Amino acid sequence: MNQIIIYASKYGSAKEYAFELSRRTNIEAISYKEIKTLEDYDVIIYIGSVYASHVRGLKETLKKFKIKSSQKFILVTVGLTDPNDLESMNKFYQALKTQIPENLFTDCKIVNLQGALKFKDLNFFFRFIIKRVFKSAEKKNQSTEMTQLMNNENKEINYMDFNTLDKVEKLL
């Protein structure tokens, strides 16, 4: 069975998960920017970081390559939101449906993992947005991933857990 791991990462968490999964399974991991074809693969694992409910590179990759019904497509998303937060995940799935053709969304397996974020690594725009979200949540006495980030002394948050890759391995 021919398998591939494709990853799209902005700050590194999705890439780290991709290479750890590659190490565990001996499946090649390659950036979505470098993939040439998907025709030769029976199983395609796409690991993408999530920003504003969009999976990095996913829409472009799916436009460029058509996934056949005979291919197994596993989508692994990496974000800060707790996958057990059903309200947030339902909103995310609604947004995800706009990024994936309906037939593929219905057939694919989706695994949601948590990543890491360092405030100092963010560009000006993202730092600005996070500060706004933090101030808004603070006024409402709400706790979010962003309030945890801003209240952390080092201004970083790390929810990464390679053990959660077991969920992906079980789908292979």
Per-residue model confidence as pLDDT tens for the chain (172 residues):
899 999 999 889 999 999 999 999 999 999 999 999 999 999 999 999 998 889 999 999 998 888 888 999 999 999 988 899 888 899 999 999 999 998 899 999 999 999 998 777 778 887 777 777 767 766 666 555 555 655 655 567 789 999 999 999 999 9
Q: Write down the residue that tokens 């998303």 correspond to.
A: 77
Taking the complete model, does pTM exceed 0.95, yes or no? no
Domains, the chain: 3-117+157-171 (3.40.50.360)
Q: Write down the residue that tokens 């970083």 correspond to.
A: 156
Rounded Cα distance between 155 and 136, Å, is 18
